[in-house]
Amino acid sequence: MKLSKVVVLVFLVPVIIGIKEDKKYWLEVAEKELKDSLSYAWNTNKAKNIVLFVGDGMSSDTITASRIYRSGEDSYLAWERFPHIGLLKTYNVDKQAPDSASAATALFCGVKAKYNTHGVDANVALNDCEASVPTDNRVDSIINWAQAAGKSTGFVTTTRVTHATPAPLYAHGPNRKWECESTMPIEESNCKDIARQLIENEPGKNIKVIMGGGRQMLQTVVNTTESDPIDTWAGRRRDGRNLISDWMADKKSRKASFSVVQNNEELAEINYDKIDFLLGIFANGHIPMDYKRDNGTNGQPSLEEMTVAALKILKKSNNGFLLVVEGGLIDFAHHRGHAAQALLETVRFSDAINATLGMINAEETLVIVTSDHTHSLAFNGNSRRGSDILGIAEDSKFDKIPYTTLSYSTGGPNNLAYEVSNNKSVRKNPNENDTTQFTYSQQAAIITDEAHHGGGDVAVYALGPYAHLLHTTHEQNFVPYVVAYAAKIGPYANSSSTSNKWSLIFIGNFLVLFTIFYTAI
């Protein structure tokens, strides 16, 4: 049975058993919320561990629609009841709506950047290789900060490990498309492609867990299958290097224990007690959309399975860890106007968070869930409570043609809503298709190349030490400062020892005064 059909049944239950949502009911709901809210206490422990989740393109309307899709209007996704929540302004240095690379630079490095650049500041314009080389124009990430504090670090993503969101964690460059050498202009030899920065440079080579897709950026791919094709939207490595072998050689030379896994069978065979470094590359391009992912032995793990594997390794660190998890395909589904795929990817992102909450101690682990930018999904009104979120809302009062609850403001040719009939432009009847199918593209008002990012604020949810620092409308680049302050890393690496120093001075002065006083009597 489809998830959304289950939802409808769940909603009929109160009606069937006669629960009325009258004033008594809502008063009780509100009283419970009040009790919960009054019970929240600020956690000012030092954050030993940090887990930062980014749902790419996960606008607030995407969260609402995914919640309804999964379990109905009154349910919550795994992170929605975190005690602290704020909003992030996502504009970057030169655009009102950012791309993923510049937004991730704000989220991970604390500095807003120009569109399509990563790990650099506003001194670097798109494609300006020369400006991206000096360290003055580069920015460190939370991975650098965590490693400098002796923490284990890792990231997992459903996209290529070299893609726009993870890139600023470990790479610096003037164009997010420079994932491998073949996409870079020949004359830009002072710049290193993103994949080589991950494998050869710091902090990439010191990252304990790297998991996602992107084999075509790391080596010359010879094997492709129907379920694991080459992504022809992106480049592929052609210089003969095998960066997976290079990664292994580096770990071997350091006498570290490591494992490279490329499918579910290999992932299942890992001996977590014995492994310190893990490289999991499960697809040539991005990991396939969850609805068509091959979950068999030769196939790919879910985001939840990758996250759990990463935590098993990182939790071994006595100094704590920092893990970044990206649900990267929410954005891809939206770009193609595939609402059903976007909602399922968001539910899978929630599953990864739910599993994480069962594996960490929130007294000492800061968990943040946010997004990099909004998207063009619109949640249209007037459908009945309990309706299939992917279905029809009602008939248009203008032309009597039905419209769907979810549509897009911008979209590509597959979202085209109008056709010409008798020399008139008329909207297509969405009832001619099954609008709940994963392959259906919802109608868009404006047709361009594809559905575009939105420029609205994104929500940020937090749990654990110093989660309360996220509490109002913030700039997006505030998030890594919260991480740094809570964990005493990066710009706040010495702040706890500073307070120790002050207390020592205080005790010292007290002793001096006491001695003077004592001597005096």
Ligand X SMILES: *[C@@H]1O[C@H](CO)[C@@H](O)[C@H](O)[C@H]1NC(C)=O
Query: Closest CB to Zn ion among 48 and 286?
Result: 286
Q: Toward ligand X, which CB reaches closer, 128 or 140?
A: 140
DSSP state of 287: P
Of these, 135, 422, 472, 519, which contacts ligand X (CB under 6 A)?
A: 422
Residue among 423, 409, 436, 422 at smallest CA distance from 334: 409
DSSP helix/strand/coil, 325: strand
Stretch that binds ligand X, among 48-56, 326-334, 373-381, 491-499 (CB under 6 A): 491-499
Write the secondary structure of 428-491 as one string of H (helix), E (strand) and C (coil).
CCHHHCCCCCCCCCCCEEEECCCCCCECCCEEEEEECCCHHHCCCEEEHHHHHHHHHHHHCCHH
Are 390 and 339 in contact, with CB atoms under 8 Å apart? yes
C-beta atoms surrounding 288 within 10 Å: 19
Interacting residue with ligand X among 39, 223, 271, 425 (CB under 6 A): 223
Residue with smallest beta-carbon separation from Zn ion: 100
Neighbouring C-alpha atoms within 13 Å toward the C-beta of 183: 21
Q: Catalytic one among 66, 100, 259, 441?
A: 100
To the query of whether residue 59 is one of the catalytic residues in this protein, the response is: no
* CB of 330 or CB of 486, closer to Zn ion: 330
> Of the ranges 7-15, 183-191, 198-206, 489-497, which one interacts with ligand X (CB under 6 A)?
489-497
Among 66, 263, 350, 404, indicate the residue that binds ligand X (CB under 6 A). Answer: 350
453 is known to lie in a ligand binding site = yes
Exposure pattern of 172-184 as b/e (b: 16+ CB <10 Å)?
bbbbbbbbbbebb
Q: Which of 491, 481, 475, 459 is nearest to 93 (CA)?
A: 475
> Distance (Å, rounded) from C-alpha 322 to C-alpha 156?
12
Torsional sign, CA 399, 404, 410, 411: negative
Does the protein bind Zn ion through residue 345 (CB under 5 A)? Answer: no
Report the nearest approach of Zn ion to the CB of residue 58 (Å). Answer: 9
278 to 317: interface string for ligand X, x by CB under 6 A: -----------------x----------------------
Q: Is 163 labelled as part of a ligand binding site?
A: yes
- Selection from 51, 45, 107 nearest residue 78 by Cα: 51
**Least distance (Å) between residue 386 CB and Zn ion:** 32
Cα 206 to chain centroid, rounded: 21
Single residue of 61, 258, 433, 455 touching ligand X by CB under 6 A: 433
**Residue 331 interacts with which of ligand X, Zn ion, none, CB < 5 to 8 Å by class:** Zn ion
Interface with ligand X includes 141 (CB under 6 A)? Answer: no
The verdict on 356 binding ligand X (CB under 6 A) reads: no
> Minimum distance from CB of 222 to ligand X (Å)?
5
Based on its alpha-carbon atoms, the radius of gyration of the chain, rounded to whole angstroms, reads: 25
Say how many residues make up the chain.
521
Element housing 424 (H / E)? strand 424-427
Q: Is residue 476 involved in binding Zn ion (CB under 5 A)?
A: no
Strands (E), 374-417: 377-379, 392-395, 402-404, 406-411
> d(Cα 131, Cα 136) in Å, to the nearest integer?
9
Which position among 54, 58, 78, 289 is part of the footprint of ligand X (CB under 6 A)? 78
Q: Is 239 annotated as a binding residue?
A: no
Q: Which of 100, 152, 219, 387 binds Zn ion (CB under 5 A)?
A: 100
- Catalytic positions, written as ranges: 100
Binding residue numbers = 56, 163, 165, 326, 331, 335, 372-373, 453
- In the complex, the residues that contact ligand X under the rule CB under 6 A are 77-78, 222-223, 295, 350, 354, 414, 422-423, 433, 440-441, 491, 493-494
Binding residue numbers for Zn(2+) = 56, 331, 335, 372-373, 453
Binding residue numbers for Mg(2+) = 56, 163, 165, 326
